[in-house]
Amino acid sequence: MLQDIIENNKKYQPGLSIDCVIFGFHDNQLKVLLIKVKHSKKWSLPGGFIPVDQDIDTAAATILNHRTGVEGIFLRQFATFGKTKRNENHFDKETLEKLNIPEEKGTWFNQRFVTIGYYALVDFLQIVPDSANTHDIVEWIDHKEVPELILDHKEILEKALDCLRTELNLMPVGYTLLPEKFTIPELQKLYETILDKKLDRRNFLRKITNIGILKKLDEKKNNVAHKAPNLYSFDKDKYEEVLKNGLNQGW
């Protein structure tokens, strides 16, 4: 992609880029999708430059697919990052040499870039990254064990996590992240993992029940050591209605 930009940089919007924060949840683990160019010691968020003939939402999906092989997920735009020196010296002489980019042609990359952040929350077992770019390593990494990141990507990641946590107050989550049948403790653990804090069991049950998106099933969970808890499922129609209208509560 970089070589294409060198030869055809007029095809790309100057001074504007996109970075994607893809969170993955499964079995009480919250991870983030990161990439690393093989010559680099630091990791980064999947990102890239915007073709002038694409809307930015389309470009975000295109960039994510190109860098990670991931497609078909809904990306939310959450913030813009534009400190004056955010990408200063990122493509220094040594980096350009490793990328086989002549120094005189590397000036395009060293202009000031404002980046638009997108994020998503998915089941990381359902999303298997596979970069088409052989120079990239793509991995799911625990959000609490994120290694050193390039540029201001740590700030972008932290902002996306804040937005994800705020989203829990505005709309329900879990429909695509839990099995078809689940227990209230399993649903509560999903919220606790994202929020990174313990929630009162009775208070959580009251709030989640009042939303009206759950159906209590005439079944109990099997193979548990203690008293078998009831199983629930999401009411798809009511879930989508709440997604449309939003919530007004806090966790």
What's the whole-number mean pLDDT along residues 107-120? 90
pTM score of the predicted model: 0.89
pLDDT tier, 2 (very low <50, low <70, confident <90, very high otherwise):
low
Interval 41-94: pLDDT, tens: 899 999 999 999 999 999 999 999 999 999 999 999 999 999 998 887 777 777
- Look at strands 12-26 and 114-122 and give their pairing: parallel
What's the CATH architecture for 2-167? Alpha-Beta Complex (3.90)
Q: What is the per-residue burial (b if ≥16 Cβ within 10 Å, else e) of 17-47?
A: bbbbbbbbbbeeebbbbbbbbeeeeebbbbb
184-245: which CATH topology? Arc Repressor Mutant, subunit A (1.10.10)
